[in-house]
Amino acid sequence: QVQLVESGGGLVQAGDSLRLSCAASGRTLNVHGMGWFRQAPGKEREFVACINWNGASTSYADSVKGRFTISGDNAKNTLYLQMNSLKPEDTAVYYCAQRHMYGSLCYREIAEYDYWGQGSQVTVSS
């Protein structure tokens, strides 16, 4: 089994920055991609960013491109999401996800992931 624990969320003002972390434990081998998703109240969970197994490929939702950066530290089994220039519309619960099914791409779809964290609340005030 795999456990994913997000941290780093909080309440910030528009224009501020936050860095989310996602620490993985358990069966941490055979990871074939990781991603960040978010879910705002009353809305469906949506893709934010992904990174492939070796970090060579990343992809971002248009709404966060140029403001958010996904990265990973394999030695620490930790995934990060650096969020700059935050906007009120970025308010959501942020989830990290890990893919153990074989694949070399950066995956943007919820169904492509096997394991999920419990989420971290990010609230951006105007």
- pLDDT tens for the chain, residues 1 to 126: 899 999 999 999 999 999 999 999 988 778 889 999 999 999 999 999 999 999 999 999 999 999 999 999 888 899 999 999 999 999 999 999 999 988 889 999 999 999 999 999 999 999
Predicted local confidence at residue 15, as pLDDT? 98
Give yes or no for a contact between 7 and 24, defined as CB atoms under 8 angstroms apart.
no
Distances (CA, A) of 124 to 42, 94, 100: 17, 13, 32
User: d(Cα 118, Cα 46) in Å, to the nearest integer?
Assistant: 15
Distances (CA, A) of 73 to 21, 90, 121: 10, 24, 22
